[in-house]
Structures are given as C-alpha cells and as structure tokens.
A = this chain, B = another copy of it.
C-alpha cells in the first residue's frame, strides 16, 4: 500500500487564506490574539477545503490527543461477551462515554486490560505510549488496582475511578451502591418482609461490600436482624445458585432475597423453582444491575438500575475539566441509581 499523506493540511489552509500557519493553528484551537475578521477568513478556508487537523500531528507537537481511553477488565468482559447473557455494561459505557466525548470534541477508545496479569503495568504503559490519551477511565476492578492507579498518577494523566472511593489520586465516581442497597431493602421492608436475605458479590469489587453495608444498615435501622441471612457469591450464576441454596436450605429461610447482580438473581429464581417455592408468592427477589434479561424472566425481576451510562458520561466531563487545569473534585461524585419494580417482589403473605 502506498504512502498515504494527509490530503489537506494546515499549510493548504494557510496558503488559501493568505495567513501564516500560526494563525490557522490559533483558529483551530480557539486561541486568543486573532481578529474576528481574520478568524472568519481562516474558518472559511477550512470549510472550503474540508480541512481536519491530524490528531497524530497535534499529539506529536505536544498538544492534546482528544482521545479518552476507557478500560475494562479483559477476562470478565470477554466472558460476558461470549456468554451472551445480555450483560450490557460495555454498551452502556459506550453510550454514555462516546456521546459525551463527541459532544465535547473528543473521541473515546475502549480497551481491555488484564487486571490479574503480572504485566498490567507494561500492558497499560504500552497502550498509553501508543495512543497518548488525554485521560483514562477506570472501571472495577481496575479502579482499585494500585499498580494502575500509581502509574496513571505518576504519568500525570487525568483519570476517573468508577466504583472507587479511595485515595488521593484520580477522580472518584460511585453509583451509590450503599444507597441503592438501602432502597432495595426498604422496598422489601415496606412490603412487610422481615427476614430478608442478601447474596453478596465478589469481594474483589469494593461495591460488593458497599451493597452489603447498605442492606445491613437499613435492616438495623428497621430493627431487623441479619444473622444467617448473608451469603457470599462472586457474581457468577453458579455462585448465586450455591448462595441461594444456602439461604433457602435453612430451617428458617428468608421470605425475600436481594442478589448483588442479575446472574445471581436468575440463579436464585432457578433454585426457588427447583424447590417449588413460588416467586413472588412465597419468595420475593430483588436484583442488581437491571440488564435486559430481567424483563424476560418469569416473573420479571424487580431490580436496582445501575446508571452506567450517566456515570461514564460524568467521568468524561470531569476528566476533560481536569485536563484543562480545573481542580480535582474533593468529594467522590455520586450518581444515584433507581429501583425498577417488576413482578418478582410482592407483599409478604
């Protein structure tokens, strides 16, 4: 394949408008010290010639790349894609991130990085060196990976940590997992439930703990006990199955169960069916995530919706603000989720 050069460069525009390269550059970047009439003339040439600056060249000369890098855990993401269970986390990320980026003149690039590998650092360093992004968005469990956080911090690249509260580095954003868990718990209490079980997610994710905290707090405040009502899963269907069996197998089983994601809720539903326990007649189920499938189960699942798109959108805004010299927000940004009521939760009979 032959050399493929930029067809219209800043040079063509400068010549066409009869000004220097600098002036064109100033117009492109909306910098001061250009007379309005000059600016107009240059803009006219740009439009006429259909000129678009080359990101590569801009980056080369040390300016912005207008690229925001979003990274997800490789194994987990690929497993979700292969599993085809309708997990649309990536889609919602892209929805929120790409649209906001486009709005602000940026571009979002989505990448997979292996959290567990010994060479996370090298892998990420290579991606950054290659792409030179202006900012990075971290999702769980990357958000809490000290190797990644330190690397970004030292390279002085603005970055967002979604689902993380900790530390002095990076911009923290959370989806109010504790509040959402309280919401779900309160919903069940309001329906008359007293023994409300909880299936926790993988301890590798901070948000797993927060969800448990919310449930415990709401139960405590309602004067309800939680002994024997907590089971630990890891977000997988299999782990949800085991947890549900544990909770429903006791002598005094819960009348409602909150599971920390949809897969584990599905598993709970399945275990209930197996045991001949009617949902929601004898057991209410509330799920987390609200992925597409929860509308198609029998009954459809009441679920806490995770505002992934909005959170990523906010992350983009904050990163770009930070990159432009704005101050790092002192407090984590909290984006609240909502409870979507469907057929799987009902009054205690």
On A, residues with C-beta under 8 Å from B are 1-8, 50, 52-57, 59-60, 62, 65-66, 78, 80-82, 84-86, 88, 90-92, 94-95, 98-99, 102, 107, 109-112, 122, 125-126, 129-132, 155-158, 291-293, 296-298, 309, 322-325
A58: nearest residue on chain B (CB-CB)? B56
CB pair B54 A82 closer than 8 Å: no
A324: nearest residue on chain B (CB-CB)? B1
List of B residues within 8 angstroms of A52 by Cβ: 125-126, 129-130
Bound-complex Cα distance A80 to B309 (A)? 13
List of B residues within 8 angstroms of A130 by Cβ: 52-55, 66, 107
Bound-complex Cα distance A53 to B129 (A)? 7
List of B residues within 8 angstroms of A122 by Cβ: 50
Partner of A94, one of B50, B90, B156: B90
Contacts A50-B122, A130-B55, A130-B107 given; does A155 touch B60 at CB 8 Å: no
CB pair B54 A129 closer than 8 Å: yes
| Nearest CB of chain B from residue A143's CB, rounded to whole Å | 21
A85: nearest residue on chain B (CB-CB)? B292
Bound-complex Cα distance A158 to B1 (A)? 9
List of B residues within 8 angstroms of A322 by Cβ: 1
CB pair B53 A56 closer than 8 Å: no
